[in-house]
Structure 1
Amino acid sequence: MTSVAHLVIGPDRHGVVQFALRIRDGITDAGLDSTLLRHESASDVTAIPDVEVVHLHVTDRLFGSPATAAAAVVEDLARRIHASGSAFVVTLHDLPQPSDGRSASARVECYRRVVACADTVIVSSEHERDLVGAAGIETPEPSVVIPLPVATGAGVRTSSDEVTVGVLGFLYPGKGHAEVLDALPPGAHLRALGTPSPGHDHLVDELAEAAAAHGTTVRVTGYIDDADLPVELGRVTVPVAHHRHMSASGSINTWIEHGRRPLVVAGAYTREFARRSPGTVTLYEEDRLAEALADAVREPASTWLEKGVIAHPTSAEVGAAHVRVYAALAESAVVHA
């Protein structure tokens, strides 16, 4: 059996950290015991255990700013991992896209450097693998696609007299809050389930002002503890994900895990998701957002999963896929001394 250490770096509330821990749980369920190295910061990593493979989940935002500084941190970790004789596996998150604007080139360079120091690269969707190629980033071999695990839940149907449209996750430009607000059906209110991402606190006031101009309201909940999620997500009339540049989405998974069938804007990733898990999302074209919201308000039952619908991949499927990756890497005898 391959010996593996999972190096998980970042704050507990960060989505990448949460998925890294969930993926490790799936790997454990698949029969592979691994060492967990859990740290708030890369600077806290003091030693690398004697294992065949070390696996790290990477988004530049967890390792420093600007992106080039984040790349240097991961490169240093890679040197230490390779010096211990271990192979280095990275799962990439938040792949750079043209929509990144001024930070796009720096982020591409960051991910190029991260990939260059890895022995195997994992991404969470076919669309993300395409983004890697489109950015001109060469991986040591074709990137391995292992989608994020998603459970299928029944949810808690919480009664509410208010018609609300909910957007789940951090508030930041491009997430879709403003577009959803513009497209709200008459009498509906926006519910932003999350907190502003660092540096974007101003969006709360901007959304409130825009809502007032539309004759409606917006409520920003702030961070929601896991224990409160079932009630909060069950209270929303219409769940929607209007981020136009999704490449993998924890928020869509979270809606589904709480019994909801969210409206999602059609794109390469969401079409891929719908093919993999039929009946879990409702696709709409970007210019049909207002119509899609109005239809869902008229038929709120359409925003809940029907009985028998199963989302994929399950945690067990994700765990088994990772075990196969580790075994293949160990069999290829990638050793760094």
Structure 2
Amino acid sequence: MPTPDDVPVHVVPGPRGHGVDLCARQLAAAVGATVVAEVPEGGSGPLHLHVTDRVWGATPEAAAAAVVAVCRSRPTTLTLHDVPQPHDGRALFPRRRAAYAAMARAATGVVVSSSHERGLLARVLGDEPGPRTPVEVVPLPTVTRQDPTSTTAAGAAHRLADDGGRWRRPGRGTLGVAGWVYPGKGHLQALGAAAALARRGLVVDVLALGAVARGHDADAEELVRRGARIGVEVQISGWLADHELDEALRCVDVPYAGHRNVSASGSVNSWLSAGRRPLVRRGPYFEEMARLRPGTLRLVDVAGLPDAVAAALADPASTRLRPGAGLAHDLDDAARGYERFWGRVLLQGSGRVA
């Protein structure tokens, strides 16, 4: 295992509040890594970068150029987030695929956050000859600031009327979607489910618990307008401080994660950390996470979402983790996974693929 002196310096350029930035800082603290905002000048010690192209450059090509330059200067491992998928679009997918392939091949080693994501990366890299960069799967950790069972079932029920405030409305249900607001996150499916329930006489508001992602203000405005057209109230919270987000996650009636093309999800782990058992859109990643953490997710198809929301409203305890529910792979587990990875690729002489 690496000693503290062997742990790579973590380069975390921000922006603060971004999910990748938060993940990077949590993991750096767990392994005792030094965190810097810029690549240190000089020196030859190893570095670790959490990479999504949107953080490291204005374009995929710019991000790849920046990261590859770091990898060629010294031993550098990467955690690749948001691995490209064909659903990125015919124009963007080839550019992102080329960028991620260049970064992965230049790195000393690569971490991804799910086996599903490793499969996506394998397709990105293709069958080109030459040395292969080691790739490790370390799932995104759950981070609990309190015992999650303290917010389960009966333990939470008597508090909701007191601390629900902004997030609970007499006679109206609430369907919450956590994280940045942008197309493909599941808000439209939540709207559709709420509209279907309205036709059954159930009033359900859609709460988007997060800020609007950069460049998507028009999409957010259209989301609210569409809700109004079909008779569903939509509230976008904007940026929430940690204590506000914790309250919201605990107190909405039904938690939902409906990412269309998700390969790893920090927002779902936020629901779990708040003691919630969210409805999640069935797909390879969430099926993998349901196996990792049995009993913590409720897999639903889009067509079955209205019925699932109605069932959750009728049985509030079903939306909360039961006492003893396993939140396998927490920060300590993730730290050990990274330490094993660095021990293998940095301390045992694996060379960079440049």
TM-score, with structure 2 as normaliser: 0.86
Segment of structure 1 superposing worse, 271-280 or 136-145: 136-145
1:135-214 mapped onto 2 (5 Å cutoff)? 135-137=124-126, 140-152=132-144, 153=148, 154-155=150-151, 158-159=160-161, 160=168, 161=170, 162-184=172-194, 185-186=197-198, 187-214=203-230
Is the 1:54–1:89 contact (alpha carbons within 8 Å) kept by the matching residues of 2? yes
Is the 2:182–2:220 contact (alpha carbons within 8 Å) kept by the matching residues of 1? no
Deviation of the 1:48 alpha carbon: 5.1
Which whole-Å CA distance do the structure 2 matches of 1:146 and 1:179 have between them? 30
Deviation of the 1:45 alpha carbon: 3.2
- Residue in 2 that maps onto 1:31: none
Aligned residues: 320
Distance 1:36 1:137, change over 3 A: farther
- Residue in 1 that maps onto 2:49: 56
One of 14, 21, 32 as aligned partner of 1:17: 21
- Residue in 2 that maps onto 1:35: 34
Is the 1:5–1:49 contact (alpha carbons within 8 Å) kept by the matching residues of 2? no
Q: Secondary structure of 1:331's partner?
A: coil
Partner AA of 1:280 in structure 2: T
Unaligned 5+ runs, structure 1? 29-33
RMSD of equivalent CA atoms: 1.8
Which whole-Å CA distance do the structure 2 matches of 1:308 and 1:226 have between them? 25
Which whole-Å CA distance do the structure 1 matches of 2:215 and 2:35 have between them? 31
Which whole-Å CA distance do the structure 1 matches of 2:291 and 2:175 have between them? 25
- Residue in 1 that maps onto 2:67: 74
Which whole-Å CA distance do the structure 2 matches of 1:206 and 1:196 have between them? 12
1:83-102 mapped onto 2 (5 Å cutoff)? 87-101=75-89, 102=91
Partner AA of 1:79 in structure 2: R
Unaligned 5+ runs, structure 2? 162-167
- Residue in 2 that maps onto 1:225: 241
Segment of structure 1 superposing worse, 97-106 or 148-157: 148-157
- Residue in 1 that maps onto 2:98: 109
Does residue 284 of the first structure (1) align with residue 300 of the second (2)? yes
Task: Give percent identity, aligned residues only.
Answer: 37
Partner AA of 1:158 in structure 2: L
Is the 1:119–1:140 contact (alpha carbons within 8 Å) kept by the matching residues of 2? no
Is the 2:12–2:24 contact (alpha carbons within 8 Å) kept by the matching residues of 1? yes
One of 238, 241, 262 as aligned partner of 2:254: 238
Is the 1:150–1:253 contact (alpha carbons within 8 Å) kept by the matching residues of 2? yes
Is the 1:120–1:140 contact (alpha carbons within 8 Å) kept by the matching residues of 2? no
One of 306, 320, 325 as aligned partner of 2:336: 320
Deviation of the 1:164 alpha carbon: 0.6
TM-score, with structure 1 as normaliser: 0.90
